[in-house]
Amino acid sequence: MSASGGGPEFSAATSVLCLLFIALVPLAVAGLALMNTGLGRLRSASHSMMSSLCVFSVAVLVYFVWGQSLQGFAGEPARVAMIAGKDWSWLGRGSLFLRHLPLAGSPASLAALLGMVSVGIVALIPLGSGADRWKLFAACLSTVLLGGIAFPIFAHWAWGGGWLSQLGANCSMGQGFVDAGGSGAIAVVGGISALSIAWILGPRQGKFTLDGLPAAIPGHNAIFVLFGCILALAGWWGLNSAGSLLYAGVPLGRIVLVILNTTLAAAAAAITAAVITSVRFGRPDASLTANGWTGGLVASSAGCAFVAPLAAVAIGIIAGILVALSVEWIELHLSIDDPGGAVSAFTLAGIWGLLSVAIFARVPATAAGAADMAPAHPGQWLAQIVGIATLIGFVFPLVYGSNWLLNRFVSQRVAPEGERQGLDLYELGAGAYPETVTHGDEFSRGG
């Protein structure tokens, strides 16, 4: 695991492979877009895919204009504060439009490329929770805040040589905050935004009865959802592999372990969710199994390069249990309408992934490297807790506050008529399936 200090040095072969891994990441974007669309209603399907494309584009552009300059990269210039005799890097100090980066295959330029597609994933996560009621224009504005402020700041702290990654060197907390593939920087940041959006928008019409009981509004296309899972796996292989090389400084040879762990965690989580739903409902539930799969991918990310394959299975099983049970609990007890299950699959599974590093990670005990692995330093627990506390105590108020403020100026929720009609017709003027009859509110009970 790398802590603070300079960034990694790459051979030409490592740079090429890292580039190939980054090229896989857009598959995760495609997978999430399909999952969000499939879990939403038929009459908003085209709007969902259109929103995915638009928020991805906005996020990429914002990251290009100023996001990357805030994120920076380990070893690059940064804003540093000296407190009690120690240097703490708190923000990147790059130029706008990536002008400070020589785009010639250096690790810093590869990290900028990975950051650009990562911010696209972050932007897509809240679309799942705001499905069927979030205006396209408002979603794009919210993405500017998420991709231009919240994500790059936390990404600098965790990945760009910032103060979270310096906890090992400055406070003897193990290796510092470890989040190789983005359980925190991508999934929890996106999941926190999903929670904020679900709260600000409120539930869909007819989702809750007058006495607060939730009504089932099933997703319209399980094929999209399950195919999206497979695409997301390929994307997460790239995300975890490139993140491990660039942000955790693992050697190229350990990428086999990264891909193996990612796959095992997702598989274990999906099977666990399928078994749990079989036991509870008498048959496996496709959408909860897909959420479990996503939760496994998310939980695998933080420690993908530092845990044994058996530990990855355990991480996946716990993620599967967590997601399968929490989706219903959040809806029933917290009255949060989250059609995509993003709060469970990203926020909760991401936090679990961050904690799992402290429990399961094994780090090189000596300079000999991977052949001589030992359990992580006890201080690793504290580093991971500080990271999680930062996500809950800083990123959540920032994201919730900025979206609340945005909602005061631009109403983020579509008008009741638009929700009844479907966002496809109301905002885009045409449905995704023009030859199919769009049903009314047959699932609604109270609206």
Partner 1 sequence: MKLLGILLLLAGWVIVLTAITLLPSAIASAAFVWAGFAVEVLGLVLVIRAHLLSLGGLR
Residues that bind partner 1 (CB under 8 A): 83-84, 86, 88, 167, 170-173, 199, 202-203, 208, 210-212, 334-336, 379, 382, 385-386, 388-390, 392-394, 396-397, 400-401
Q: Taken in order 391, 397, 402, 407, is the CA torsion positive or negative?
A: positive
CB of 393 to partner 1, least distance (A): 3
Give whichever of 365 and 389 is closer to partner 1, judged by the CB atom: 389
User: Given phi > 0 = left and psi -120 to 50 = alpha, else beta, which region is 98?
Assistant: left
- Rank residues 84 and 216 by Cβ distance to partner 1 and give the closer one: 84
CB 100 within 8 A of CB 94: yes
Asked if residue 161 lies in contact with residue 87, where contact means CB atoms within 8 angstroms, the answer is: no
Residue number with CB closer to partner 1 (85 or 282): 85
Q: Which of 32, 31, 100 is nearest to 64 (CA)?
A: 100
Residue found under tokens 């990429």: 60
Cα distances (angstroms) measured from residue 178 to each of 162, 301, 382, 424: 12, 10, 11, 42
Residue 397 CB, nearest approach to partner 1 (Å): 5
**Complex with partner 1: residue 400 or 443, whichever CB lies closer:** 400
> Angle 74-237-234 (CA atoms, 0-180°, nearest 5)?
140
CB 399 → partner 1: shortest distance, Å?
A: 11
List phi, psi (to 5°) of 132.
70, 5
Structure token pair of residue 256: 């086999």
CB of 111 or CB of 189, closer to partner 1: 189
* Shorter beta-carbon distance to partner 1: residue 170 or 407: 170
The least distance separating partner 1 from the CB of residue 79, rounded to whole angstroms, comes to 16
**Which CB, 10 or 208, lies closer to partner 1?**
208
The CA distance from 185 to 101, in Å, is 22
Residue closer to partner 1, measured from CB, 88 or 159: 88
- DSSP state, 438? P
Q: How far apart are CA 354 and CA 287, in angstroms?
A: 24
Report the nearest approach of partner 1 to the CB of residue 19 (Å). 36
**How far is 265 from 160, CA to CA, in rounded Å?**
26
CB of 392 to partner 1, least distance (A): 5
If the CB atoms of residues 309 and 416 are measured against partner 1, the closer one turns out to be 416
Residue bearing tokens 């994500």: 151
Distance of closest approach, residue 84 Cβ to partner 1, in angstroms: 6
Cα–Cα distance, 384 to 370 (Å, whole number): 22
Give the nearer residue to partner 1 in terms of CB position, either 316 or 341. Answer: 341
CB of 212 to partner 1, least distance (A): 7
- Amino acid present at 54: C
d(CA 184, CA 188): 5
- ∠ CA 122-284-225 to the nearest 5 degrees? 35
Q: What are phi and psi of 89, to 5 degrees?
A: -85, 125
Tokens read off for 151: 């994500």
Q: Which one-letter DSSP state was computed for residue 307?
A: S
Q: How far is the CB of 386 from partner 1 (least distance, A)?
A: 6
CB of 414 to partner 1, least distance (A): 17
Torsion of CA 344, 346, 130, 51, to 10 degrees: -150
